[in-house]
Structures are given as structure tokens and as C-alpha cells.
Amino acid sequence: MKGLLFALKSGFGWLSTIPVGISMEGIEALMRHVYVFPLVGLALGVILGGVAYMAGQALSANLVAVVVIVAIYKLCGINHIDGLADFGDGVIAHGTREKKVAAMKDVSLGTGGAVFIAIILLAAFAIVSDIPRALLPLSLLVAEVSAKEAMICFAAFSTSLQKGFGQIMIERTGSRQFLMGLVISAVFCVAALGPLGLAALVAAQVAALYMVLVAKRNFGGATGDGIGATNEVARVVALAVALTLGGVLPWMLW
């Protein structure tokens, strides 16, 4: 139990800007219990949902979307969207896999990365603006849980390409951790939004598997940038499902 709690604490240090501290010992503990990612996502989603609820009491839908997006990157940091930018640079680069990997590792922001970031931010803005206010807080909760489980999914079904923290997660994460995280995530998502929450979770995992294929096709394997990129893509996919199916599938407030 002590190791599990240490892993959970380290999960907040890894996945958010909450100042709990992070160490190599903490990373090792987290990688042994990587299925706690959805628990971190739950806590982050509760905070973001609270922000959306309070903003919705006074602001227009467009301004609520801006506040929510700012809150996401204030709370979760920019490491994952930076991974999306690097991933985009590599995918867009022409030439051999070696050239694509070199472009992904380049610290400068390229056109591909800029385009990927712009698409994700525009999509998030459009979707959050249109989600009904009564549904938005719980949709954000489900999206964060789904995105964190998607990171596990990406790592579990990928092959490590290079050394780094991403390599540690990819090599330590297997189908067992994925299934444990999936069960935990399903409980949270169904409790929050019923069938709609489950649909959002499933869609996020499909997006993660697609990211696995994109990484394999372009780079021959996966890195930490792919894990971060998957978090960003899966969050938007989950929110898109909440918006698209919110009037079709039943959802409940507990």
C-alpha cells in the first residue's frame, strides 16, 4: 500500500504541475503501478470540471472554453502538448525514418508541430464551446480519465525507440497494466456519464491505438513524445464524443 500511495503521489508530479515533487525513486514506483494514471486523471478532471462550472456561471460559452483550455495547461503543464509538437514535426518531415526521428528530436518548433498544436487547440475550443453547460464539467472529468488511460494504452502496445523516460514507461507497461487501468477508468467514466462516459473512454483508446500505428509507420517505434501526443489527442477525442453523442446516449449525474 505504501508503494501504491508513493506511485500515486509521483503520478501527480509526472502528470501535473501540482508541486508534490518527483524523483527517480518515484518514477520507478509509478512505472510499477502505472495503472494509477486514471486516478490522477480523475483528480485533475474534478478540478477542471469545477473550473468549468464556476466559469459557466458568469461567462459566455466561448469565454468558458478559453478559461477551460488555460486551466488545462496551467494544471497539467505543457510537457504533453510539447510532445505533440515534436511528434507532429516528425510525422510531417519527409524522407527516411531516421530523418523523421531526427526532426522529432529537434528542439526547434517546426511547421508540423505548429499545425498539430493549432488543430488540437482549435478543436478543443470548438468542442468545449458547444458542449452543454450541464454536461461540460463531467465531460472534462471523463476526458481526463480517458486521456490518462490512453497514455497507458499507447505505451502498452508500442515498442520503445530510444532511451528516456518514455522508454521506461513503454518497456514497463504491458497488457496487465492496461487492463487494470481500463477497469478503473471504466468505473469512473460510467459513474460520471453512464453509457456516454463509456463511449468516450472507448473512443480515446481507439485513438491511442491509432497513434501507435502512426508512430510505428513513421518512426518504427515510440518515444515519450508519442505518449504525450496521445494524451492531447485522446482528451479531444473523448470531449468530441461527449458533444456528438450527448444527445443520443443517456448520461447521468450519479
Q: Which sequence spans correspond to the domains of the chain?
A: 2-245
User: Can you say whether residue 115 is alpha, beta or left, with left for phi > 0 and alpha for psi between -120 and 50 degrees?
Assistant: alpha
User: Can you say whether residue 31 is alpha, beta or left, with left for phi > 0 and alpha for psi between -120 and 50 degrees?
Assistant: alpha
pTM of the model: 0.92
At 219, the amino acid letter reads F
pLDDT tens digits, one per residue of 102-145: 888 877 777 788 999 999 999 999 999 999 999 999 999 999 99
Coil, helix or strand at residue 86: helix
Give the closest residue to 146 by CA, choosing from 224, 14, 235, 240: 235
CB atoms within 10 A of CB 209: 16
pLDDT (0 to 100) of residue 176: 92
Q: Judge whether residue 248 has pLDDT over 50.
A: yes
pLDDT tens digits, one per residue of 58-69: 999 999 999 999
pLDDT (0 to 100) of residue 98: 86
92 close to 112: Cβ distance less than 8 angstroms? yes
pLDDT tens digits, one per residue of 186-241: 999 999 999 999 999 999 999 999 999 999 999 988 888 999 999 999 999 999 99
What are the CB-based long-range contacts (under 8 Å, 24+) for 182-187? 182/149, 182/152, 182/153, 184/35, 184/38, 184/39, 184/149, 185/38, 185/41, 185/145, 185/146, 185/148, 185/149
